[in-house]
Chain A
Amino acid sequence: MAADKKRYNMRISGLGGQGVVTSAHILGSCMDNAGKFASLVPFFGSEKRMAPVEAYVRASSEPIYEVGEVVYPDIIMIYHSQVVTHGKSYTMPFYTGLKKNSLVIINTGFEVLNEDDKKVLSDLNATVVQFDATALAIKIAGTELATNMAMMGMLLGLTGLVTEAHIEAAVRERFLGNSFVASGGTASLDSAIEKKFKKKEDLLAKNMEVINATFEMAAKIDLNSDELIINIAV
């Protein structure tokens, strides 16, 4: 997997409530903050928890003309093991259309790939990075809701598309709104908003802690190794 590609076409498969679409938006903003380009398309049916959700993100150092779903991705992210084990996905099997020499990141605490999956992925010379992003989110942020941050952090850590500063700006923009000016002394903020803001600032800090942890994990991964599956302990 070459980490210096100009263009990545990504497919993110997860379940409702995991923040698949949210993280796709944040990925897009990260690219924008880095002065690069991104486009994204969400795809979902019923808007409920645990229902299949897919998001497609194109990230590039050049303007993007293409529209629509990513049919032939070079990066696949799986936010939930059930996408693989239960087929909870719009794309079955999950690696459909995957290009050669690609990267797959799976959030799982156990071995999800069967021998057939491994054969296909091995023939494609793919690299599969497996780690328990949910456990990491609970360990660091105290909530499984930061799973998407762990997944996004791992992706950006492995690809080096943007820096942590770009991510922080994007996460801040998403959770606090980019028009918000944090000036502690202003009396115009009533206590309710202040409390909420305090909570959101905490949330932001925890999210960044998760992302920083995945960056450290990613730094130790050698994508050029011959291993098909790289398991990362959380």
Chain B
Amino acid sequence: MSLNKTLVDMDYLLNEAPREKHFITGAQAMAEAVKRASVDMAIAYPITPQSEVMHLVGDIYAQGHIKEYYRAEEELGTMSAIAGAARAGVRLFTATSGPGLLRGLEAIVSWPGHRVPCVLGILTRVVNAPLSIQPDNIEMAYMLHCGAVMLHAENQQDTFDYTLAAFAITEKVDVYIPVAVATEGFFVTHAKGYVNMMDEKYAYKEVDPYEAPVPAMDNEVPPARIQRDAPVQKSNFMSYLIHSVWQQEIWDSNRRAMKYIYQYLGGPIEVINPDADVFILASGCAAAQAREANRYAEEEGLSVGLIKVKAIRPFPKQEIRDALKNAKSVIIPEHNIIGWLASEVKSSIDNSGIVVDGPRVYGGMTLPVELIMTEIYTALGMETETLQA
């Protein structure tokens, strides 16, 4: 790069490089992370609320921090182009929201199997009718089963840190699958918060093709026979065998990402007041509301624990099982109607009866802390003041 950057490894960048406090939006935080990640190429198609992020990434490209950037024809084209670019061995970033994510999903779910290392920003938005641009994270449920690593950011600071860490995790030889960094549209992307950032002269070391488990392709002279005589087409037996081994390997890769989530993000969960009987468990923006409820409870002299889930894939089953071992109740607030996080937690613990389904808001509504407090009072067997509708 021509900007005279100090290229460092991710441990130094995240944990040692001196940081300064800034007051910026979540969209800015994600773009600032991209700026420090020595990204080779960004491709995207605009959609609210992601457009703010990719606009800022465009600015970064104009400033010379990214080598190549273009607007694809739509999301299926975007996500397919990301897969194609990955074959050339370059570092990639893209982002999308709600309907855009679903339009690109056909290509996205093939990324892990194609061993596409890239970072995908998901700035959540309503996908179901009646249409709306408001934050609702139901789209994350559609992503859960494709094999990608998924991180869920609570606020602007998380958005910055997780996005940077994602660039390191996705390229690890024993991972080498895409990493999605999700956060709520508007509540995080368009709202300002404090973010501690290192100077932009520091950047993550550039991608090294020799470290990659998959050789980069010479796209000038493509090896055509790879496709024509692919082993999966030899026979049914070989096809099924290779496909099953392949998929197992993808999910093993996903599980192997966990050690890097520990290395860079201090683990997949954060626990406050581990000895409590009643817990609130949440991810993303709902974790901010849960953190507030946790403090309200503390001020009222109630003992309530908080579990923030940072990694959705690989899902921290063992960690959550351990944290909830002695819990009597776990309240799971969510920004979607189906409660995908509650389902994940229920299938991870053997005392799933302790799970309180909700409170949930959807369609992008605000998740009032008072709703969480009402569940806390109920869980503690206290009288609750009826909130007037």
Residues of A within 8 A of B (CB): 6, 39, 41, 62, 64-69, 71-72, 96-98, 100, 120, 124
Closest to A64 in B: B292
Q: Within the assembled complex, what's the spacing in Å between the Cα atoms of A39 and B288?
A: 13
Q: Is the CB of A65 within 8 A of B387?
A: no
Q: Which of A6, A66, A71, A120 contacts B292 (CB 8 A)?
A: A66
Q: Within the assembled complex, what's the spacing in Å between the Cα atoms of A71 and B361?
A: 12
Q: Within the assembled complex, what's the spacing in Å between the Cα atoms of A97 and B389?
A: 6
Given contact pairs A71-B368, A72-B368, A65 touches B385 in the complex (Cβ within 8 A): no
Q: Within the assembled complex, what's the spacing in Å between the Cα atoms of A209 and B327?
A: 57
Q: Is the CB of A67 within 8 A of B295?
A: no
Q: Within the assembled complex, what's the spacing in Å between the Cα atoms of A98 and B369?
A: 14
User: Please, could you name 17 A-B residue pairs with CB atoms under 8 Å apart, sorted by A?
Assistant: A6-B299, A41-B191, A62-B295, A64-B292, A65-B155, A65-B289, A65-B295, A66-B369, A67-B187, A67-B285, A68-B187, A68-B367, A72-B387, A96-B388, A97-B388, A97-B389, A124-B388
Chain B contact residues: helix, strand, loop or mixed: loop
Is B291 part of the contact surface with A, judged by Cβ < 8 Å? yes
* Chain B min CB distance to A112 (Å): 20
Q: Within the assembled complex, what's the spacing in Å between the Cα atoms of A18 and B300?
A: 38
Per the CB 8 Å criterion, the residue count for chain B at the interface is: 20
Is B188 part of the contact surface with A, judged by Cβ < 8 Å? yes
Q: Is the CB of B289 within 8 A of A67?
A: yes
Closest to B387 in A: A72
Total A-B contacts with CB atoms under 8 angstroms apart: 43
Is B352 part of the contact surface with A, judged by Cβ < 8 Å? no
A residues less than 8 Å from B387 (CB atoms): 72, 97
Q: Is the CB of B368 within 8 A of A65?
A: no
Q: Which of B191, B369, B389 contacts A96 (CB 8 A)?
A: B389
Q: Which of A6, A67, A69, A72 contacts B370 (CB 8 A)?
A: A72
* Chain A min CB distance to B383 (Å): 13
* Chain B min CB distance to A97 (Å): 7
Q: Within the assembled complex, what's the spacing in Å between the Cα atoms of A71 and B155?
A: 20
Is B51 part of the contact surface with A, judged by Cβ < 8 Å? no
B residues less than 8 Å from A124 (CB atoms): 388
B residues less than 8 Å from A62 (CB atoms): 295
Q: Within the assembled complex, what's the spacing in Å between the Cα atoms of A67 and B361?
A: 14
